[in-house]
């Protein structure tokens, strides 16, 4: 199993609400949604 790194992330409440709503609509928790968004962004940048 891959090691996990815990971080603190500060978001504007409006951005947090958008991510939360998206996570709920895609049956993910907020952490999973943020991880998904970051992975997709990195795929585009590669």
Query: Taking the domains of the chain in order of start, what are their residue ranges?
Result: 13-45
d(CA 41, CA 46): 9
Residue 41 DSSP class: H
End-to-end CA distance of the chain: 24
d(CA 37, CA 30): 10
Q: Looking at residue 44, what is its pLDDT?
A: 98
pLDDT along the chain (46 residues), means of 10: 95 98 98 98 97
d(CA 5, CA 44): 23
Predicted TM-score of the model (pTM): 0.88
Q: Looking at residue 1, what is its pLDDT?
A: 87
Four-residue CA torsion sign, 4, 13, 46, 29: positive
């Amino acid at each position: 199993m891959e090691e996990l790194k815990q971080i603190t992330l500060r978001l504007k409440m409006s951005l947090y609400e958008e991510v939360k709503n998206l996570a709920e609509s895609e049956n993910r928790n907020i952490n999973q949604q943020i991880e998904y968004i970051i992975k997709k962004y990195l795929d585009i940048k590669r």
